[in-house]
Amino acid sequence: MNSIGIIGGSIIGLSTAEAILEDYPEAKIVVYSDQFTPHTTADVSSGLVLPYLFGECDNVNTLKGWMDMTIKQLSNVAHIDEEASSAITVISGYKLWKKKPIETGEPFQSCFLGFREAAPLELSQFSADGRYAHGEFLTTFQCDCSKYLPYIMKKLIGKGVQFVEKKISSLDDIAHLGHSIVVNTTGFYAHLLTDDKEIRPYKGQILIAKAPWVKHFFIEVDGDSYIIPKSDYLVVGGTHDADTSSILNKSTSIKIWKEACEMLPGIRTGTVIGERLGIRPGRSSVRMELEHRRTKCGKDYTVLHHYGQWPCRVRSICALGKRKSSIIFA
């Protein structure tokens, strides 16, 4: 059996390892990563299964298929595994528009567990100044990666997967370590290992706040603000800047809080307890591609590039990953 080296120890890397083992329980897998949970971008994410900032080349029907599969998979895991069920929850909330969009109607409506247009009275309840002209209320899944990643990592260790903390400087290095198959799940940082010119940063700065009375999410579609409860705190966002610096901007944090308080005045009495940032892997579409390569020393190996997605696509991507793994094992 070929030996597989996965670069990237976050949600896509670990889910890929899991998917490969479902098809090939005997597979030998080593995961190389310079960061593991709680230091990955996925740990920063809100983990909502809700298409957001998807690429212009992503086909809506393909995304719908991935969403359906994702929701099914998350639901299965949450039902059969008590430990996972603390990471995977069902959550409801609002998408809000200050200006009524010309075309209303959510393209992913059929994927959600529940969906309806918000009533005017409902919209006036949380923003006293009547700032929202249109709203949608929906129910979906949420995967809290800071709980899910430790769970899945433990499961993989139990199945013999090895984890190595290491920064990889070239794909060839993994082939030289004896792996004939390399899976590249490095998210935004894939641009450092490949010549992919398409990948670009969508930096997200967020605040962590305590306001335990907020149970729903609120996302301004024609603005930047969002408030999303996770199991232990609120994520208050945010930005999606074309910026790669890892420095938190104080004035951005102040702006995020001010705008969130305007969106939902009820959180004013909450407490900001932290700030975080992560870089989303922006791309016109997900890269799921096989590449056959040869090292300078003449060693042939196969790379499965597997990046440019967000966690909500995780399991469905893995289902695709399974098909790809059949190709690479064939």
Ligand X SMILES: Cc1cc2nc3c(=O)[nH]c(=O)nc-3n(C[C@H](O)[C@H](O)[C@H](O)COP(=O)(O)OP(=O)(O)OC[C@H]3O[C@@H](n4cnc5c(N)ncnc54)[C@H](O)[C@@H]3O)c2cc1C
Q: Is 256 in the site for ligand X (CB under 6 A)?
A: no
- Stretch of 42-50, 81-89, 131-139, 296-304 contacting ligand X, by CB under 6 A: 42-50
Q: Is 229 in the site for ligand X (CB under 6 A)?
A: no
Residue of 310, 315, 321, 324 interacting with ligand X (CB under 6 A): 310
Cβ contact 280:54 at 8 Å: no
* Interface pattern 17-36 for ligand X (x via CB under 6 A): ---------------xxxx-
Q: Is 16 in the site for ligand X (CB under 6 A)?
A: no
> CA-to-CA distance for 109 and 58, rounded, in angstroms?
17
Cβ neighbors of 59 (< 8 A, separation 6 or more) are: none
Nearer to ligand X, 99 or 293 (CB): 293
In angstroms, give the least distance from the CB of 330 to ligand X.
Answer: 25
In angstroms, give the least distance from the CB of 99 to ligand X.
Answer: 23
Q: Is 163 in the site for ligand X (CB under 6 A)?
A: no
Q: Is 194 in the site for ligand X (CB under 6 A)?
A: no
Q: Return the residue matching tokens 């992503």.
A: 58
Q: Is 168 in the site for ligand X (CB under 6 A)?
A: yes
Q: Is 303 in the site for ligand X (CB under 6 A)?
A: no
In angstroms, give the least distance from the CB of 119 to ligand X.
Answer: 26
Q: Is 282 in the site for ligand X (CB under 6 A)?
A: no
Residue of 5, 6, 9, 71 interacting with ligand X (CB under 6 A): 9
> CA-to-CA distance for 23 and 325, rounded, in angstroms?
9
Using DSSP's 3-state secondary structure scheme, residue 10 falls into coil
Nearer to ligand X, 99 or 229 (CB): 229
Q: Is 316 in the site for ligand X (CB under 6 A)?
A: no
Q: Return the residue matching tokens 């800071």.
A: 146
Using DSSP's 3-state secondary structure scheme, residue 143 falls into strand
- Stretch of 2-10, 112-120, 132-140, 258-266 contacting ligand X, by CB under 6 A: 2-10
Cβ neighbors of 325 (< 8 A, separation 6 or more) are: 19, 20, 23, 24, 304
Chain centre to alpha carbon of residue 328: 25
Using DSSP's 3-state secondary structure scheme, residue 189 falls into helix
Cβ contact 96:123 at 8 Å: yes
The partner residues of 94 in beta bridges, in order of sequence, read 137, 218
Q: Is 305 in the site for ligand X (CB under 6 A)?
A: no
Cβ neighbors of 15 (< 8 A, separation 6 or more) are: 152, 314, 315, 317, 318, 321
Chain centre to alpha carbon of residue 276: 15
Residue of 6, 18, 41, 230 interacting with ligand X (CB under 6 A): 41
Q: Is 85 in the site for ligand X (CB under 6 A)?
A: no
Nearer to ligand X, 33 or 127 (CB): 33
In angstroms, give the least distance from the CB of 184 to ligand X.
Answer: 9
Burial classification of residue 71, based on how many CB atoms lie within 10 Å of its CB (0-12 exposed, 13-18 middle, 19 or more buried): buried
Q: Is 283 in the site for ligand X (CB under 6 A)?
A: no
The partner residues of 5 in beta bridges, in order of sequence, read 30, 182
Residue of 10, 127, 146, 316 interacting with ligand X (CB under 6 A): 10
Nearer to ligand X, 93 or 281 (CB): 281
Cβ contact 277:311 at 8 Å: no
> CA-to-CA distance for 40 and 11, rounded, in angstroms?
9
**Positions in the binding site for ligand X (CB under 6 A):** 7-13, 32-35, 40-42, 44-48, 167-168, 185-189, 192-193, 204, 206, 237-238, 278, 280-281, 307, 310-312
